Structure 1
Amino acid sequence: MDFKPLVTLLAIVNPLAIVPFFIHYTQGFSKAQRRRTIVISSFSAFVVIAISALLGLRILEFFNISLASFQVGGGMLLLLSSMNMLNAQPAEAKIQTHELEDGAEKAAMGASIAVVPLTIPLLTGPASMSTVVIYAEKAKTFFQLGTLVGYGVVIGLATALCFALAEPIARVLGKTGINVMTRLMGLILAALAVEVMADGLGKLFPILRG
């Protein structure tokens, strides 16, 4: 069984790096409200990954985009995400703090903060979606595709665990510890991004394969 997709997704999603955001956005919440936020955010992360795995290739076909091109573009996106993480920032945190606060205000007026901004874009954004689509194309059997969807369950459970233990984790690791973890995951992600891009470039330009 290939665990590379799971390692890549864990590196991108990296729930540990989102723990400070979770604490910030759930300040003043009751235990029941915080528990509901954890359930919705972890389930939403699974749904995003599952939909990307099952329908991502169909969407590419609809827009007439080759997988090789998507691999190169997705690899570049992963590389940019890894650069963010090497600077101790969440992989999917592409927006500024004040924009996140605006998102939280909108969430208070309707949509749950568990979905925006916690799940999208902080946990699962373009980088994680493109990664799932790339690995979905490599799935040759229904079992392999089901395994990829199953990895979404693992990501959801990891998210739920990190958020449920948010305050103890923040106390034990501290800001420095979380930053170190984020940088390590960023280094792993950078290596995986280069591999994905190399595979895509090899398909676009066969001469590169020698």
Structure 2
Amino acid sequence: MDTEYLISAFTTLFVIIDPPGLAPIFIAVTAGLQPEERRLVAIRSCVVATLILLAFALAGSHLLAFLGISLSAFRVAGGLLMFWIAFEMVFERRQDRKAASAERALHVDEIHGMAVFPLAIPLISGPGAISATVVIGSQAPSVGHFAILIGIVLAIMAMTLAVFLAAGPIDKRLGATGRAVITRLFGLVLAALSVQIVADGTKTLMAAPVM
């Protein structure tokens, strides 16, 4: 049972969070930052995402129920936020702001804010990852199984951090043209993903009985 729970939990969270797939998005979001600033964003975003997932694993279902928020509604809200980010990536709104900010040094608060949104929320610890963490945690038959879930979250976040730290050298090889292509391409992918999240959440909401 331990092996089955380990494989199921790890596979589910790894596929949903998708650390390798986050690398191009991380490069696009942090375009224009200095290497040390990008490293700071990578570490902070992974730490914040880890704390969020652990918090929801411990008390997510109780918190949402207390607030009267369903997981489906949480999915729709997260999907809409992700679509806004994707729109900016495709139409260079984000890049225009980066170009303007390149003329001055970014404040530490701005770098910290970038790490929290959109990286930690909703890209790393998005509605899908949070929902999966809550569900898997609620299905843990014992404290030992729940400890396994905590270890899995920490392992996947460590993988994500490693991917982010390796993104800098990759970015140097891409150059401006490569960054532009990747930004638009993954902006489209992110837009499609956000629409799917909203569609799934809306479908569940529509199927839910009216109170």
Is 1:165–2:175 an aligned residue pair? no
Is 1:19–2:27 an aligned residue pair? yes
Q: What residue in structure 2 maps to residue 83 of structure 1?
A: 83
CA distance in 1 between counterparts of 2:61 and 2:185 reads 36
Work out which of the residue numbers 96, 117, 129 in structure 2 matches 1:121.
Answer: 117
Q: How many residue pairs were aligned?
A: 185
Cα gap change, 1:89 to 1:14, in 2 (>3 Å) = farther
Cα gap change, 1:146 to 1:206, in 2 (>3 Å) = farther
Which amino acid in structure 1 is aligned with residue 119 of structure 2?
Answer: L
Q: Which runs of 5+ in 1 are unaligned?
A: 27-33
How far off is 1:51 after superposition? 0.8
Which amino acid in structure 1 is aligned with residue 113 of structure 2?
Answer: V
Which amino acid in structure 1 is aligned with residue 172 of structure 2?
Answer: E
Which amino acid in structure 2 is aligned with residue 47 of structure 1?
Answer: V
Cα gap change, 1:145 to 1:65, in 2 (>3 Å) = farther
Q: Which runs of 5+ in 2 are unaligned?
A: 1-6
How far off is 1:186 after superposition? 2.9
How far off is 1:149 after superposition? 3.3
Q: What residue in structure 2 maps to residue 134 of structure 1?
A: 131
> If the length of structure 2 is used for normalisation, what is the TM-score?
0.65
CA distance in 2 between counterparts of 1:199 and 1:151 reads 28
Work out which of the residue numbers 173, 191, 197 in structure 2 matches 1:186.
Answer: 191
Q: What residue in structure 2 maps to residue 48 of structure 1?
A: 48
Root-mean-square deviation (CA, aligned residues, Å) is 3.9
How far off is 1:170 after superposition? 3.6
Q: Report percent identity of matched pairs.
A: 7
Which amino acid in structure 2 is aligned with residue 116 of structure 1?
Answer: G
> If the length of structure 1 is used for normalisation, what is the TM-score?
0.65
Which amino acid in structure 2 is aligned with residue 58 of structure 1?
Answer: A
Which amino acid in structure 2 is aligned with residue 124 of structure 1?
Answer: A
* Contact 2:17–2:125 (CA under 8 A) maintained in structure 1: no
